[in-house]
Amino acid sequence: MAKVIAVAGKGGTGKTTLSALLIRSLTKNGQKPILTVDADPNSNLGETLGLTIDKTIGDIRENYMRDPQGVPSGMDKINYLELLLNQVLIEENDYDLLVMGRQEGQGCYCMVNNILRNFTDELVKSYKYLVFDNEAGMEHLSRRTNGKVDTLFLVTDYALRGLRALRRINDMIKELGLDIENVGIVVSRAPEKLGDAFMKEVEEIGLPIYGTIPNDDMLLEFDMERKSLMDLPDDSASVVAVDKINAKILAS
């Protein structure tokens, strides 16, 4: 069964960048194949990986809810939806990507979500790692992984607002009944030394810091030129930092 790595945090703190760099680091270390799931409604992970996203799981779900009787003759609903879900899967050499896309609209999505969960549970059996780029809330993670997570990275930038968002996410974990083996904080755009006020807040949350990622001008350069973060050089400051964080995963 695949090891599940999830990344969560307030929007704009660098969680999607961390997700992409974890995928880069894992593949460089031969830890593949990887299934990565972009569960953030903003759906930016594909872009950071240099991929074009034409259709998402949310599109399939909404189209089906608009016309639940539009299943081709001779095919049941489950097989039809699984066929469409397979078409959404983007397959690369070392990793595959599923994009969740839009959030649910009005109406009961229970049947569609159950099919989606069963599809994901079966699909993940073919991979060594599942990397989950999560929204700020944890509901997607609870639905898609049967509540079992090996490592959860809670990402904040160097700001107390980001840390306070992590505190709320950490409190939410028990409410959702998630079974998480390891939880730790990653600080993006971090200075060389974290200040006392910041560290006091970390201590109050009660979680370890798994690593820090310094400011890296190459991230902005790659973003402006729409380059894949998979192509960052090995000596990039952010790559070096995430490789160190990843080494903790491989050692656990």
Instruction: Report the alpha-carbon distance of residue 223 to residue 177 in Å, rounded.
Output: 36
| Mean pLDDT of each 10-residue bin along the chain, 252 residues long | 87 92 95 90 87 87 80 84 88 92 62 72 88 73 64 94 89 80 95 95 94 95 94 97 89 67
Residue 125's pLDDT is what? 86
Cβ pair 131, 23 in contact under 8 A: yes
Give the strand pairing for 179-190 and 34-38: unpaired
Please give the CATH topology (third level) of the domain spanning 3-54+90-102+125-251: Rossmann fold (3.40.50)
Confidence at residue 136, expressed as pLDDT on a 0 to 100 scale: 63
- Please calculate the CA angle 96-10-228 and round it to the nearest 5 degrees: 35
pLDDT at 212: 97
Determine the pLDDT at residue 142.
57
pTM of the model: 0.89
Where exactly are the structural domains of the chain? 3-54+90-102+125-251
